[in-house]
Every structure is written in structure tokens, then in C-alpha cells.
Amino acid sequence: MPELPEVESIKNELLPLIVGRRVSSVTLFWAGIVRLPSVEEFCSRLIGQRLTGVARRGKYLIFSLTSGKALIIHLKMTGSLLLKPASTEPDKFIRAILYLDKEIQLCFRDPRKLGVMWLVEDTNSIVGKLGPEPLEASFTPQILLKRLNNRTAPIKALLCDQTFIAGIGNMYADEALFAARIHPLRSGKSLSQDEAKRLHHSIKRVLLSAIGYKGASVDTYLRPSGELGTAHLQFQVAHRLSGNLCPVCGTLIERIVVRNRGTYFCPQCQPYDNSIYQGV
């Protein structure tokens, strides 16, 4: 958290409100949030710049500037970007503020201090290793099947690997696998052409639905307005507590750990087969 739908929702809500506005000053309450360049250079090179665009790549937000540089933000597990009036007093979890003209401030709120920011000339230096975007037309069932070829890792782990596919995280991987009726421990290469096609469809459907609900507020995620997303209210298996039943067949939802990630699935709808499973 936040994953692709949350970051996409943030981008969509910020775009009409901040593009064209100038950064008048920067306040850092925690210097560790800046990775590149130095804190002093970061602040001085941002001040006076106008924001010319907001884009998303995987789970990264990319703010383009009139200087040609880009401000890249990764919210990590607990970060949010909030738009507030310039007179608003920051709460204890605000780690950085970009003051914009017209009396607004863009606040980076992060209770666990995991989020990071970069100011770079080449965005590929940060996001260049990411896999394909799952919502782009170029990401086809054939591309997914090709990327699964010879992959022995569990499909759940592959979906969470940002170099395999960009933007999908733990909870949306669980939801996509449930919708495709694929067990999370299946090896990537064990999926048939029909299963890969089904999974491709499920990935897109799950992500687009979550964007429609403005992301999932299962933990600390907030939209720029401070409101919650409601995508988690539509979850079928992800984050379902012990004792919850599958909404399709009524079987108890199970939780296992796959590559250190809590994983939720229905053992009836997503059957496990030792003959096709290959190592966790």
C-alpha cells in the first residue's frame, strides 16, 4: 500500500488542481525523505519551478517541472499526498510540504517514514527497471504468457515483482488470482494459455474497478482531499479476516505466506495441485 489504483487515483485528483502552479517554498520535517540530490539542492532546485504534469509509472508519481527535471515520489507503505490550504498546521506525520502559489500546500504524510523523493533529470534512473504497465494496450495476454514462460516462482510472487509487472501489489494480486481461479502457489510456467488469458483479464478488471472506487483505504491511505478510498469494500478475499467465507462458494477463506507476503485465497475456487506446483 499504496498500489497502482491508489497512486493512479492520487494522480487523477492532483492533475487538475496543481498543474501550472509554482513551488514557492519547500519545508522538510524529515530530511531522510530525500534520496537525490542533497537536501539543500533538492529544495533550491524546486523553488520557483512550475509543475507541468503529473504521471504515474508503477507505484511511482512523476511530477514534471519547467526546468526539465522531474520530482519522483514513492509513497511506500503508509504515505499519502494531501492538498491543504497554506494556513493549515501540519500534523505530526507530515514529513514534507511543497508550498504552491494560490495559497495551497502539497503535504507528504507518512506515519512510518518509509516514503522517498527524488529530483532527477532522467526518470529512467529511478523507474527504468519496472515491468510493463498492466493497464496499457501493449500489455496483452500473449505478453503475459511470454513473461510467465520458464518462471518457477509462485504466481503470487511474480505479480508482486515490480520488474515483472509494474504497480500490482499484495492485495490486488490476491484479488486478481481469486477472480482468475488460480492458486497463489502455482508456478508461473505452469499456467496454460487459457489461464494466462483469464489472469490477464482479471488483472485489468480488478485494477480498473479499484480505480473507480478511488483506491482502497485498508490502512493509512488517504486521497489528496483527505477522504478515504472505498475499493476495499469490494474485496472478495484480500484482507479478509479468519472465519470469513468465500463469496462464491461459501468455503472458509485461507491465509498463507508466499515469499513473506500474507496471501488470501479460497481453497475451493482456487484448487491446489501438487503435480503443478513448483517451490515457494
- The set of catalytic residues is 2-3, 59, 261
Strands 34-36 and 23-28, bridge-based pairing: unpaired
CA distance 111 to 252: 33
CA dihedral 47, 48, 50, 51 (to 10 degrees): 0
Q: Residue holding cell 515483482? A: 161
Q: Residue holding cell 494556513? A: 87
Cβ pair 82, 224 in contact under 8 A: yes
| In the chain, alpha helices (H) | 4-18, 39-46, 124-127, 141-148, 155-160, 170-180, 193-212
3-class DSSP assignment, residue 31: helix
C-alpha cell recorded at residue 71: 520530482
Q: 3-state DSSP: the chain helix, strand, coil percent, rounded to 5?
A: 30, 25, 45
Strands 34-36 and 51-57, bridge-based pairing: unpaired
Q: Which residues lie closer than 8 Å to 164 by C-beta, 6 or more apart? A: 131, 147, 158
